Amino acid sequence: MNQALQTLHSVFGYETFRPPQESIIRTVIEGGDALVLMPTGGGKSLCYQVPALVRPGCGVVISPLIALMQDQVSALRQLGVRASFLNSTLDAASTREVESQLLAGELDLLYIAPERLTRERCLSLLEQSAISLFAIDEAHCVSQWGHDFRADYLQLSLLHTRFPGIPRIALTATADARTRLEIIERLDLGNARQFIAGFDRPNIRYRIALKHNPRQQLLRFLRDEHVGDAGIIYCMSRRKTEDIATWLGEQGLDALPYHAGLDAATRASHQARFLREEGVIMVATIAFGMGIDKPDVRFVAHLDMPKTVESYYQETGRAGRDGLAANAWMIYGLQDVIKLRQMMAASAGSEEHKRAEQHRLNAMLGLCEITSCRRQALLNYFGDQLDQPCGNCDSCLEPADTWDGTEAARMALSAVYRTGQRFGVNHLIEVLRGSEADKVMQFDHHLLPTFGVGTQWDNNQWRSVFRQLVARGLLSVDLDRFGALRLEEKCRPLLRGEEQIELRRDQPRQKTARQQTRTALPADIDVGLWEALRERRRLLAEEQGVPPYVIFHDRTLQEMCCQLPRNRAELGHINGVGERKLEKYGAQFLQVIEQHAAVR
């Protein structure tokens, strides 16, 4: 273990292991198997990188993310680690070179795509080489239920049979129990020790608001809080990602679309720009993101509601992996729910499967509508506990107002009932507000007792009432009739006068003085020095064709700004400055700091 700590200091430049890392690393170094569940940004990579460096032989990392292998390998080489990869992007000559390095024991870490690994040629190559461990990254890809399923992963249980003495470590950020069981079963990990880290991501601020003017809301969020920051904006449809990216471009922002319908070259080039440049915004469908380990994604915005809390958590988890403040921002409306329900109803799949999906969608909706701490609700969903409200979500920071919505809710339910459960929200509101619109007259709805009883609330307030009744399962959306609302069993006690209901008061549109939350920079930092350090980093990154964070993370540069190291020894104490980087870049960064001090 001493050797592990020594490696952590000298290679990675970090002081201490995070709590779960230490026991995971000990297990693997001692030759045991491990299953690691850790949230994105938790520090999974070190769990296999350190043991691979400490144990004799080369560590083999199986990863489905071919497009990212090059960057992962470059980052390791920056640290002085002898890393390489084998996948379909290499030509025959380079492949042979990597293979002979492996045979000669000249590699510390080798990344391999699963479809390559399971070929006989590759297996026998591995049998002839000294292997320290197998790391199976993104292990949830064996799950046939998940949307990341890879058939090649199913064959990975052969590692156990072919290489019985070599420790295996499977890693994933997907939390749920069912996926975990599938991983254990399909990868033959029955004897592995399980490490389940807490799922909290305290540096991410969760905010969920109502959609009223999505583009303007988004633009405001970006201009107020994320000037020059890199981030991801998720949309439900391909078309929308393109529209939004174009529109943001017209507003002067550096935004690119990404979805599975773009050709491979465009996708690759957009992804490369996002990774390599600073401040690029990716407007994407869920096709984008798995394995993107860009540490300085400062925000994840959702313009449409994800289908499940799992997806929401996985997508928002891509923000702030460096541990610095980041925003998870979402807007949603009743239309999202109607659209998602329609998509589900139209999908193939058994009734049981559809019911399960419906259930998960309701949980997501519940998260949107709650008035208590969002983080407590999120963690609770994953079976984790947070005893106190978090203080870093919108519910905690700007507590939502509630009001006694009993009377309004009864009126709304009664309007649904009396119009025959065949009409959508807009029509129902017209009836409640006593509008003499054509359609109201046509169906004689002006003759109903509920006609015009609800004039004290305006259209928006009524929409909010209906949305919350749907979210809480008192009303359902009828899919055979576009958007028609129907009563659910659950609304009876309220209709019979046996129950009261508290509703969330939606925030007024013109928000009062909003607090400025430039997320990334602490208030007391010297911005001039910060910019100068970033500029130096950018030049170095460009020279070597690597993303800037591969040189140093934002966090490391911020520590330099705070501690103002004057010499190599002081610089070496900063988090993220290992021996190799100290040697390679130390002088250059010290020079920037010194020059800056001189002109101040």
Give the nearest distance from C-beta 71 to ligand ADP in angstroms: 12
Our finding on whether 40 is near ligand ADP (CB under 6 A) is yes
User: How many chain residues touch ligand ADP (CB under 6 A)?
Assistant: 18
Cβ neighbour number for residue 169 with a 10 Å cutoff:
30
Give the nearest distance from C-beta 393 to ligand ADP in angstroms: 21
Phi-psi region of 22 (alpha: psi -120 to 50; beta: other; left: phi over 0): alpha
- Binding-site member from 375, 504, 553, 555 for Zn ion (CB under 5 A): 375
The encoded tokens of residue 502 equal 């508290």
Q: Which residues share a beta bridge with 330? A: 208, 302
Cβ neighbour number for residue 104 with a 10 Å cutoff:
9
Residue 549 to residue 530: CA distance in whole angstroms: 14
Residue 80 to residue 481: CA distance in whole angstroms: 63
Our finding on whether 320 is near ligand ADP (CB under 6 A) is no
Q: Which of residues 561-600 bind ligand ADP (CB under 6 A)?
A: 575
Whose Cβ is closer to Zn ion: residue 316's or residue 461's?
A: 316
Nearest C-alpha neighbor of 302 from the set 311, 293, 294: 311
Give the nearest distance from C-beta 92 to Zn ion in angstroms: 55
Give the nearest distance from C-beta 393 to Zn ion in angstroms: 3
Residue 97 to residue 110: CA distance in whole angstroms: 13
Tell me the Cα Rg of the chain.
Answer: 27
Our finding on whether 17 is near ligand ADP (CB under 6 A) is yes
Report the partner that residue 80 touches, choosing among Zn ion, ligand ADP, none (CB closer than 5 to 8 A by kind).
Answer: none
Our finding on whether 201 is near Zn ion (CB under 5 A) is no
Choices 41-49, 345-353, 468-476, 501-509; region in contact with ligand ADP by CB under 6 A: 41-49
Our finding on whether 45 is near ligand ADP (CB under 6 A) is yes
Q: Tell me if 58 sits within 8 A of 132, measured CB to CB.
A: yes
Give the nearest distance from C-beta 575 to ligand ADP in angstroms: 6
The encoded tokens of residue 158 equal 């052969």
**Tokens 């193939």 label which residue?**
348
Q: Tell me if 557 sits within 8 A of 533, measured CB to CB.
A: yes
Q: If you ran DSSP here, which 8-state letter would residue 12 be given?
A: I
Residue nearest ligand ADP (C-beta atom):
43
Q: Which of residues 475-534 bind ligand ADP (CB under 6 A)?
A: none
Residue 431 to residue 422: CA distance in whole angstroms: 13
Choices 43-51, 87-95, 408-416, 564-572; region in contact with ligand ADP by CB under 6 A: 43-51
Q: Which residues contact 146 (CB under 8 A, 6 or more apart)?
A: 140, 174, 179
Choices 42-50, 139-147, 149-157, 301-309; region in contact with ligand ADP by CB under 6 A: 42-50
Residue 328 to residue 368: CA distance in whole angstroms: 13
Nearest C-alpha neighbor of 170 from the set 510, 162, 179: 179
Which amino acid would we find at residue 567?
N
Give the nearest distance from C-beta 581 to ligand ADP in angstroms: 12
Whose Cβ is closer to ligand ADP: residue 195's or residue 462's?
A: 195
Which amino acid would we find at residue 467?
R
Residue 383 to residue 310: CA distance in whole angstroms: 12
Which amino acid would we find at residue 493?
P
The whole-angstrom distance between residue 17's C-alpha and the CA centroid of its chain comes to: 23
The encoded tokens of residue 98 equal 């990597």
Our finding on whether 467 is near ligand ADP (CB under 6 A) is no
**String of DSSP letters for 96-148:** HHHHHHHHTT--SEEEE-HHHHTSHHHHHHHHTS-EEEEEE-SGGGG-SSSTT
Our finding on whether 202 is near ligand ADP (CB under 6 A) is no
Taking residues 392 to 431 in sequence order and writing x for each that binds Zn ion by CB under 5 A, - otherwise, the string is: -x--x-----------------------------------
Our finding on whether 26 is near ligand ADP (CB under 6 A) is no
Angle at the Cα of 364 (from 146 to 292), degrees rounded to 5?
Answer: 50
Give the nearest distance from C-beta 21 to ligand ADP in angstroms: 6
- Binding-site member from 28, 29, 35, 46 for ligand ADP (CB under 6 A): 46
Whose Cβ is closer to ligand ADP: residue 293's or residue 304's?
A: 293
Nearest-10 Cα torsion for 203, 207, 213, 218: 0
- Binding-site member from 138, 296, 322, 336 for ligand ADP (CB under 6 A): 322
- Binding-site member from 57, 198, 202, 295 for ligand ADP (CB under 6 A): 295
User: Helix 351-369 and helix 309-316: axis angle, to 10°?
Assistant: 60
Q: Tell me if 311 sits within 8 A of 260, measured CB to CB.
A: no
User: How many chain residues touch Zn ion (CB under 5 A)?
Assistant: 6
Our finding on whether 373 is near Zn ion (CB under 5 A) is yes
Our finding on whether 43 is near ligand ADP (CB under 6 A) is yes
Our finding on whether 469 is near Zn ion (CB under 5 A) is no
Give the nearest distance from C-beta 323 to ligand ADP in angstroms: 6
Our finding on whether 207 is near Zn ion (CB under 5 A) is no
Our finding on whether 18 is near ligand ADP (CB under 6 A) is yes
Give the nearest distance from C-beta 115 to ligand ADP in angstroms: 22
Report the partner that residue 321 touches, choosing among ligand ADP, Zn ion, none (CB closer than 5 to 8 A by kind).
Answer: ligand ADP
Whose Cβ is closer to Zn ion: residue 114's or residue 320's?
A: 320
Alpha-carbon dihedral sign for residues 362, 364, 367, 368: negative
Q: Where does this chain bind Zn ion (CB under 5 A)?
A: 373, 375, 389-390, 393, 396
Q: Where does this chain bind ligand ADP (CB under 6 A)?
A: 14, 17-18, 21, 38, 40-46, 293, 295, 321-322, 553, 575
